[in-house]
Structure 1
Amino acid sequence: MQNNLPANWPLVKLGDICEFIYGKGLPKRLRVEAGVYPVYGSNGVVGHHDKYIVEKPCLIVGRKGAAGAIHLSNKDCWPIDTTYFIKPNEKYSLKFLFYLLKNLRLNSLDKSTAIPGLNRNDAYSLQIPLPPIKEQHRIVEKIEELFSELDNGIENLKKAKDQIKTYRQAVLKYAFEGKLTNGKSEKAKGKGENGELPEGWKWVKLEKLSELITKGASPRWQGFNYINDESQTLFITSENVKENYLEFKKLKYLEDTFNQKQKRSILKRGDVLFNLVGASIGRAAIYNLNRKSNINQAVALIRLRGDLNTNYLSYFLNSNIAKQKYMMDIADVARANLSLTDTSNILVPLCSIPEQTKIVQEIESRFSVADKMEQSIDESLQKAESLRQSILKQAFEGKLV
């Protein structure tokens, strides 16, 4: 750190003013979750207990895992052995040290090759500015004032993002009620428990519109392990299936011989993938790759016949209209899951192919505008986080107060 600080801000070594004390192990099986004292791991609170080992307030520093993460506890607590903790002393305001450590980005000191770790001696060697106590309090007040304004702005941006999600669902609702293409047309057919449809539309079970509805299998059950070979079969799981798109941040591959055992679930370009299990249940996307691929048991493959547009189906399956219908059958199940029978019985609002094509165009036109708005919000959120770091940097260069 360059010494262009105010004259009354000496540079000292972190280890000269505070001690990183090792936390104490507390296995999950021994914790009393009904207890009132938070148990801290590197990522923050990981449980509760009926005893504590550190009096409030204190700082918790990630030692293993989320190495360098900083937490402030205003309650008596139990930091476990993946952490260090720091007690207050007369040399610093604990909140000042909290923000200072965040600015130091201790995670950058990690030298491990496996699990991220922080050696306290590396932290001790860092030089830090140490203003007088009164000035430390002023700095903390200014940081928290600016952070409060920043947090309000971030909250408003997140609300705007939620409103865009609501808008997208409103577009889909109008689309599959026929209002994007028919306006306020008379709804003469399809009345009843399945909802009203414009004249000429009808509810049809998905199985009647599909050439194939199946799912994949677990590689482990078939005796296969993941391999690091992009020339082999790409293996798609529910993690990859997002709403109307496939995400390939985490790629998995299997030997091509897996396809010999699971021929039925080998993917073809244009197949609709539909998540059957867990938190991502109901997400649907179109497979548009030209390569060897297969799926696991949590993903259904829907291969359509010519009377249903794949994009139309993908948008419909991701709509609240569809979800409200097929989720009714699994509302009482502890871990939500859909069977292939449930999937086959999903009712689809069917109109002519030309109208389906027009509906998809209308949806995508509106979603394109929403996507640009969402991108702008995401950029603003990123700038807000950068501004947070800038505030801390200025604070500890003596430029904030």
Structure 2
Amino acid sequence: MTPALEHFELLAEAEGDIEKLRELTLDLAVRGRLLPSDTSHWIKTRLGELIRLTYGKALPERARNPAGQVPVYGSNGVVGRHDQALVHQPCLIVGRKGSAGSIHCVTEPCWPIDTAYFVTAPPEVELEFLFVLLRSLKLERLGRAIAVPGLNRNDAYALTVCLPPCEEQRRIVAKVNELMQRLDEWESRRAKQRALQARLRSSVLDALVLAQKPEAFSAAWRHALDHFEVLFERPEDIQALRELVLHAALRGILTKSEPDDGSADTLLSHLGSERQRMRGNIRVKDTHLPPVSPAEEPYPLPSSWRWCRLGHFGGLLGGGTPSKANTALWSGPIPWVSPKDMKRSYLDDTEDHLSELAVEQSSLRRIPPGSLLFVVRGMILAHSFPVALTTREVTINQDMKGLVPALPETGPYLLWACKAARARILQHVERSSHGTCRLDTRRVQETPIPLPSLPEQRRIVSRLEALTRQCDELELRLRQADQAASKLTESMVATLVSS
């Protein structure tokens, strides 16, 4: 056996690598590479000349006796019990419909139904070796690409296989079973390690959640970074850190209020007067919104903060779609934002662009730089609430709204605040009779948003950007480590298979 397989645990580090090693074990086994072997005595033939795939027989559930001891097999395993057997000798069950190509080894009398084939071993073939052989052929890949995948036995019969003498078959099976057991044990150990890792990670994240002051949060954050290699293994583990950082920031836990910051009450009043002035200048829609009542407050805020509504930050502009039939409208420099462009936090360009003529001949409004864009209609609202800040003048389509901040300097903070409010906003998503998701604009405007002073907003944004960059770096390290481990495994597997 190749030395690499004697220490395969060293290869099984990336996600999916254990399954690759199982496939490698089967492949080497049927090629005579798993043990020292003289393959010149092996017989090369077609699978159809070696075995017959026999149709199972339909057995409706109402016709079965659930008190019976005979297992009833479908394409994906046992589906019931009966008191009679269709096949009385050891056999293999091969999925024909649904889980096409799946294989089960059955050593007791059984009843395969018509979604499966069954195979009995000919005298010159050990049943367990036949099990190894069929698994190595990856019959599931022959499943026809139709609504319900199906395995045509003629496709399987055409496959070329090699058959060693019976004694060698038994030795190969013993070695395969040994390695498969080691892989199972390694997989089990790794699952336990990940469970322990998850508990440790949960403890560290709890410390971040429970932090009530910036000093406590910073200490918990440093602890997480100091034990990063132990706590985090997969890139997706970092998402929990991102969420915690964001929600801590919007609760006033990342920053301190300073005496000369000014009050949130003064800022809220200033926003109101600026909205009035802006309404006259650029004709935004400014909806009257009542103050946030104590019953509506999602969580407690620092004493110097106040709750306000998203609509208190500015006025709304809508969008539309010029005629696609007129190509002259779609060949200009003006970005036209639609939901498909909402993949970044800051938008400086789009997939589609409009001409000046398109804006002049339609009711489209120019959305100024620094505006907050969000989606109000589309299937993406089933799971996400995309928001972005514009860095240049844009137009938008009818599935979106643009909130023009009354005070432009509140834009970056408002972007983060809307991300933090995503779950609360998505609670208001409605579905039409044909499944389209939509948000009532009024409900979005009414969303409660925490309001700190402007200086503290700037500190919050700065802190969030710094911690988010750290999260990006941590995620990149994990992805690179995962890719390196995966490439190492793939390289060694390819070397072993080709040599």
TM-score by length of 1: 0.59
Q: Does 2:474 correspond to 1:373?
A: yes
Alignment counterpart, residue 346 of structure 1, candidates 447, 471, 479:
447
Matched AA of 1:236: S
Number of the residue aligned with 2:255: 181
Number of the residue aligned with 1:96: 132
Number of the residue aligned with 1:26: none
Alignment counterpart, residue 425 of structure 2, candidates 326, 348, 355:
326
Alignment counterpart, residue 462 of structure 2, candidates 353, 357, 361:
361
Alignment counterpart, residue 142 of structure 1, candidates 172, 179, 198:
179
Q: Is the partner of 1:318 in helix, strand or coil?
A: helix
Compared CA separation, residues 364 and 346, structure 1 to 2 (3 A): same
| Aligned pairs (5 A) from 1:17-96 | 17=50, 58-60=93-95, 71-72=102-103, 87-90=118-121, 91=125, 93=128, 96=132
Alignment counterpart, residue 273 of structure 1, candidates 346, 351, 374:
374
Matched AA of 1:354: P
Matched AA of 1:201: W
TM-score by length of 2: 0.50
Q: Is the 8 A contact 2:319 2:398 kept in 1?
A: yes
Offset at residue 38 of structure 1 (A): 10
Q: Is the 8 A contact 2:345 2:389 kept in 1?
A: no
Q: Is the 8 A contact 1:272 1:301 kept in 2?
A: yes
Q: Is the 8 A contact 1:38 1:77 kept in 2?
A: yes
Offset at residue 175 of structure 1 (A): 0.6
Alignment counterpart, residue 315 of structure 1, candidates 409, 416, 427:
416
Alignment counterpart, residue 197 of structure 1, candidates 301, 311, 316:
301
More helix by share: 2
Encode CA deviations 1:23-48: one digit per residue, 9 max, x unaligned: 9xxxxxxxx9xxxx9987xxx99xx9
Q: Is the 8 A contact 1:236 1:295 kept in 2?
A: yes
Number of the residue aligned with 2:210: none
Alignment counterpart, residue 209 of structure 1, candidates 313, 322, 336:
313
Offset at residue 349 of structure 1 (A): 1.5
Once residues 113 and 320 of structure 2 are traced to their aligned partners in structure 1, the CA distance between those partners, rounded to angstroms, is 45
Offset at residue 300 of structure 1 (A): 4.3
Alignment counterpart, residue 339 of structure 2, candidates 234, 237, 240:
237
Q: Is the partner of 1:179 in helix, strand or coil?
A: coil
Encode CA deviations 1:236-278: one digit per residue, 9 max, x unaligned: 336x6458578x9xx9869989978985477766543346556
Number of the residue aligned with 1:27: none
Offset at residue 358 of structure 1 (A): 1.9
Q: Is the 8 A contact 1:312 1:359 kept in 2?
A: yes
Compared CA separation, residues 363 and 254, structure 1 to 2 (3 A): closer
User: Matched residue pairs, number?
Assistant: 355
Q: Is the 8 A contact 1:241 1:285 kept in 2?
A: yes
Compared CA separation, residues 281 and 124, structure 1 to 2 (3 A): same
Q: Is the 8 A contact 2:307 2:448 kept in 1?
A: yes
Q: Does 2:226 correspond to 1:171?
A: no
Once residues 20 and 294 of structure 1 are traced to their aligned partners in structure 2, the CA distance between those partners, rounded to angstroms, is 60
Q: Which runs of 5+ in 2 are unaligned?
A: 1-26, 57-61, 63-71, 81-85, 199-231, 266-291
Q: Which runs of 5+ in 1 are unaligned?
A: 24-31
Q: Is the partner of 2:137 in helix, strand or coil?
A: helix
Once residues 492 and 423 of structure 2 are traced to their aligned partners in structure 1, the CA distance between those partners, rounded to angstroms, is 45
Offset at residue 378 of structure 1 (A): 3.0
Q: Is the partner of 2:307 in helix, strand or coil?
A: strand
RMSD: 6.2
Offset at residue 370 of structure 1 (A): 1.8
Compared CA separation, residues 330 and 74, structure 1 to 2 (3 A): farther
Compared CA separation, residues 210 and 141, structure 1 to 2 (3 A): farther
Q: Is the 8 A contact 2:376 2:440 kept in 1?
A: no
Once residues 98 and 291 of structure 1 are traced to their aligned partners in structure 2, the CA distance between those partners, rounded to angstroms, is 62
Once residues 468 and 158 of structure 2 are traced to their aligned partners in structure 1, the CA distance between those partners, rounded to angstroms, is 52
Q: Is the partner of 1:156 in helix, strand or coil?
A: helix
Matched AA of 1:211: G
Offset at residue 144 of structure 1 (A): 5.4
Offset at residue 78 of structure 1 (A): 7.8
Q: Is the 8 A contact 1:172 1:363 kept in 2?
A: yes
Higher CA-based Rg: 2
Once residues 391 and 74 of structure 2 are traced to their aligned partners in structure 1, the CA distance between those partners, rounded to angstroms, is 46
Compared CA separation, residues 231 and 223, structure 1 to 2 (3 A): closer
Offset at residue 362 of structure 1 (A): 0.8
Q: Is the partner of 1:136 in helix, strand or coil?
A: helix
Once residues 308 and 77 of structure 1 are traced to their aligned partners in structure 2, the CA distance between those partners, rounded to angstroms, is 70
Compared CA separation, residues 57 and 121, structure 1 to 2 (3 A): closer
Encode CA deviations 1:278-306: one digit per residue, 9 max, x unaligned: 66444334255879774463x54444343
Matched AA of 1:146: L
Once residues 130 and 252 of structure 1 are traced to their aligned partners in structure 2, the CA distance between those partners, rounded to angstroms, is 58
Q: Is the 8 A contact 1:201 1:351 kept in 2?
A: yes
Matched AA of 2:173: Q
Identity score, percent: 18
Alignment counterpart, residue 386 of structure 2, candidates 284, 300, 304:
284
Compared CA separation, residues 301 and 133, structure 1 to 2 (3 A): farther
Matched AA of 2:417: F
Encode CA deviations 1:106-129: one digit per residue, 9 max, x unaligned: 58x99x9xxx99998777665555
